[in-house]
């Protein structure tokens, strides 16, 4: 699981500047697709070989009514609860502010580990910018300049190292109520949950689940994440696939794990479903969270081989659907789209709905669309067949000679345009495979730096056709040799 870092702080302290810096490398990919609203609040980042998720909460706006802060917006609160670590940003130029104190108090109540970062500190003496902020009671501040990148690496390293440190779970031993993530549960459920955690701590966790499938067999199982906005029918599909009893079992606090993965077999084939609903465990602490969680959706997508994106046929494609679709696209995972509740739409409406959905999600045109009823089980086996096809495409082995032949044919059919009038024409010499899930085709040659997007797409189409790559994104990279 990727560690989750939440950025919080009052407006204008530099949260989005820091967010952009932490996620920059991945930003451009989704932005390429017109009509796709990007969710700027969630991003993937990477430091060396350590990937992470960042959330820019942006939700601590003071509500002017009575000049006081409202309770944190629900989404913000959820983001903080789901984070492994919170970076609380304050403005080193503006100095300490009453709102900073309020936020610090709010954060303390969540029980999260908080790192205090004093931003905009370029060219300033550390001792001077930090002096005020010790009063927040959050320990030693880290001094950064998001705009100039100063101290950002150290901050990130510190944050990621802290995530790996053992979590605080002193509430187990009777710490204040506020930190007890089970406060909302009735006594029985609470005791069961605590017992499981204690077992876990003492290494007595019961792994001998009788219907667990052995590791050998599971290695070849396809990992599937079923994602979509609330109420599209994800749990119903999972029920249909694995049967009621198992779902009930995995919904109980006792069986909650970091990533809830459910193994199942259907028609002799093995699968692992990655759950995006229910309870989740963070560090050693359970939290009850909203039924729908962006963080979980992102985590599930990154852990899957194939994503099933579920839509509700009885409703218009919403912005939230497009956001989730954008996450899938950005991840590069193989994809199958399930337009669910097809039983509930009038047969006269069906053609119109199909056209409308395909038009709105045109950037997912590499994926197969299925029209399903998770409730009645209609279309579910066809959906799984496409999952297999997408999986095979995502892991296809593309040989250098064949790739190069397809490249030559493509260039012969339509040569890449010159750079400007009289400029050099790009020369494509050979192609090799640079990755799987998604497949990456690396094209080598000269003056490939300015190959236009339209030509890249043309090549993508040719490779796709030649290798029958349905259901997976395909990335094309150009590598020029001087």
Interacting residue ranges for ligand GDP, rule: CB under 6 A:
9, 11-17, 119-120, 122, 145-148, 228, 230-236, 277, 340-341, 343-344, 373-375
**CB closer to ligand GDP out of 144 and 163:** 144
Find out whether 480 is annotated in a ligand binding site: no
Nearest by Cα to 476 from 418, 468, 448, 33: 448
Answer yes or no: is 58 a known binding residue.
Answer: yes
As measured in angstroms, the least distance from the Cβ of 349 to ligand GDP is 14
179 vs 372, which CB is nearer to ligand GDP?
372
Handedness of CA 392, 395, 396, 397 (dihedral sign): negative
Question: How far, in Å, CA of 10 to CA of 75, rounded?
Answer: 16
Q: Between helices 400-413 and 453-467, what is the axis angle to 10°? A: 130
Q: Are 479 and 434 in contact (CB under 8 A)?
A: no
- In angstroms, give the least distance from the CB of 227 to ligand GDP: 9
Nearer to ligand GDP among residue 41 and residue 464 (C-beta): 41
Q: Is 176 annotated in some ligand binding site?
A: no
Backbone torsions φ then ψ of 199, nearest 5 degrees: -60, -45
Q: Is 10 annotated as a binding residue?
A: yes
Closer Cβ to ligand GDP, 152 or 393, answer by number: 152
Give the burial class of 270: count Cβ atoms within 10 A of its Cβ; 0-12 exposed, 13-18 middle, 19 or more buried. Answer: middle
CA dist., res. 403 & res. 121, Å (int): 51
Instruction: Tell me: is residue 254 an annotated ligand-binding position.
Output: no
- In the complex with ligand GDP, the residue whose CB is nearer, 271 or 371, is 371
* CA proximity to 407, closest of 466, 366, 364, 351: 466
Distance CA 73, CA 75 (A): 6
Cβ 146 to ligand GDP shortest distance, Å: 4
Report helix, strand or coil for 373.
strand
Here the tokens at position 82 are 């789901």
43 annotated as ligand-binding? no
Beta bridge partners of 158: none
- Least Å distance, CB 357 to ligand GDP, is 15
Residue among 378 and 480 whose Cβ is closer to ligand GDP: 378
359 is in an annotated binding site: no
Smallest separation (angstroms) from ligand GDP to the CB of 121: 7
**Closest approach of ligand GDP to the CB of residue 397, in Å:** 35
CA count, 13 A, side-chain hemisphere, 261: 19
Instruction: Please state the residue numbers annotated as binding site for GTP.
Output: 9-16, 56-60, 119-122, 228-235, 275-279, 340-343
């Amino acid at each position: 699981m990727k560690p989750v870092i939440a950025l919080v702080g009052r407006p204008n302290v530099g949260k989005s500047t820091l967010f952009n810096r932490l996620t920059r490398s991945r930003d451009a990919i989704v932005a390429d697709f017109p009509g796709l609203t990007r969710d700027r609040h969630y991003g993937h980042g990477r430091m060396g070989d350590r990937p992470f998720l960042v959330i820019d909460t942006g939700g601590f706006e003071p509500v002017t009514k009575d000049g006081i802060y409202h309770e944190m917006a629900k989404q913000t609160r959820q983001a903080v609860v789901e984070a492994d670590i919170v970076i609380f940003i304050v403005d080193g130029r503006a100095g300490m502010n009453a709102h900073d104190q309020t936020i610090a108090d709010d954060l303390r109540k969540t029980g999260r580990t908080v790192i205090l970062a004093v931003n905009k500190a370029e060219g300033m003496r550390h001792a001077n910018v930090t002096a005020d902020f010790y009063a927040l009671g959050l320990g030693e501040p880290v001094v950064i300049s998001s705009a100039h990148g100063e101290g950002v690496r150290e901050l990130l390293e510190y944050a990621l190292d802290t995530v790996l440190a053992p979590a605080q779970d002193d509430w187990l031993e009777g710490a204040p109520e506020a930190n007890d993530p089970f406060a909302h549960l009735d006594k029985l459920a609470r005791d069961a949950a605590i017992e499981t955690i204690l077992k876990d701590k003492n290494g007595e966790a019961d792994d001998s689940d009788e219907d667990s499938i052995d590791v050998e067999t599971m290695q070849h199982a396809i990992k599937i994440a079923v994602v979509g906005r609330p109420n599209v029918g994800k749990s119903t599909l999972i029920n249909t696939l694995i049967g009621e009893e198992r779902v009930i079992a995995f919904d109980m606090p006792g069986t909650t794990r970091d990533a809830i993965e459910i193994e199942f077999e259907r028609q002799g084939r093995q699968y692992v479903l990655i759950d995006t609903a229910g309870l989740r465990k963070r560090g050693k602490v359970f939290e009850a969270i909203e039924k729908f969680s962006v963080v979980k959706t992102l985590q599930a997508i990154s852990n899957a081989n194939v994503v099933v994106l579920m839509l509700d046929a009885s409703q218009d494609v919403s912005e939230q659907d497009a956001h989730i679709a954008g996450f899938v696209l950005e991840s590069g995972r193989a994809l199958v789209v399930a337009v669910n509740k097809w039983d509930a739409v009038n047969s006269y409406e069906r053609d119109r709905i199909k056209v409308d959905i395909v038009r709105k999600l045109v950037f997912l045109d590499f994926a197969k669309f299925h029209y399903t009823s998770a409730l009645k089980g209609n279309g579910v086996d066809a959906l799984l067949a496409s999952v297999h096809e997408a999986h095979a495409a995502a892991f296809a082995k593309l040989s250098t000679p064949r790739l190069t032949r397809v490249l030559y044919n493509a260039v012969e059919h339509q040569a890449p345009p010159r750079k400007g009038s009289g400029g050099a024409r790009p020369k494509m010499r050979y192609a090799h495979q640079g990755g799987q899930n998604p497949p990456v085709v690396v094209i080598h040659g000269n003056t490939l730096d300015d190959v236009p997007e339209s030509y890249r797409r043309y090549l993508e189409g040719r490779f796709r056709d030649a290798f029958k790559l349905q259901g997976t994104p395909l990335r094309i990279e150009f590598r020029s040799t001087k």
